[in-house]
A = this chain, B = another copy of it.
Amino acid sequence: MPAQIRLAVDAVVFGYADQQLQLLLIRRNIPPFEGEWALPGGQVLSEESLEAAVERELREETGIGINYLEQLYTFGQPGRDPRNRVVSVAYFALVNPNQFELAAATDAADARWFSCQKLPALAFDHAQIVEYAQQRLRAKLTYEPIGLNLLDQDFLFSDLEKLYESILNRKIDRRNFRKKFLSFGILTETTRVHSGHKGRPGTLFRFDEDKYKALKEKGFLFEIK
């Protein structure tokens, strides 16, 4: 029998707060890399699916509720874990940090959001995994409306615009962006709001996911340049 290969999952969980992309990390309380920050994750149990493993680990380690989940990539270089051969299937998740208690520390683990602008050093090859996930997020934002999973259910157009600007890291023309996005017909208008800010209140929009799915079936293409 060959030396065993262990299978794990890791989750790159993005949130959006303070007009910045945030990443959810846990502090490891066991070796290797004890005390360092790492992606939530762990070994896959023998009878559970990969997605179930991700969800279980997130529940155990962070108590979080996921809006969007997709498989990212499988990292399997020998040596990426200094002790054993561990192959890890990385997942990519989007959540709205407002929808639950900010990183309730369950288990023994300490869970926290970090701005993607100021990440700490990460255990294993997790920095590489995060880099890969950011690329995926940036790319996907332009051809699927997944960014909406990072916002509140009802949001201002300016929120959406700032989200795109901060993640894609470039200026976006407000008028053209709104025209384009609205032209897809996947947002519905709600009432109005003042909320915390000064200035004129803005319209609240809501993502119509069923509409989007229906259009997608019909071959409709979402695209933001």
Contacts and interface: CB of A to CB of B under 8 A. Distances in A.
Interface of A: 2-7, 43-50, 71, 73-74, 76-78, 85, 87, 89
Nearest to A84: B46
A225 to B, nearest CB: 10
23 contacts: A2-B43, A2-B45, A3-B46, A3-B47, A4-B4, A4-B46, A5-B7, A5-B44, A5-B46, A7-B7, A7-B87, A44-B87, A46-B78, A47-B78, A47-B85, A49-B76, A49-B77, A49-B78, A50-B76, A71-B74, A74-B74, A76-B89, A87-B89
A87 B46 contact: no
A4 to B, nearest CB: 6
Nearest to A45: B2
A7 B46 CA distance: 12
Contacts of A4: 4, 46
A66 B15 CA distance: 39
A6 B6 CA distance: 8
Contact of A76 (B44, B73, B78): B44
Given A5-B7, A7-B5, A74 B47 contact: no
Given A2-B45, A7-B76, A71-B74, 6 more contacts: A5-B7, A5-B46, A7-B7, A74-B89, A76-B89, A87-B89
A68 to B, nearest CB: 17
Contacts of A87: 7, 44, 50, 89
A85 B50 CA distance: 12
Nearest to A80: B49
Nearest to A50: B76
A85 B49 CA distance: 10
A73 B46 CA distance: 19
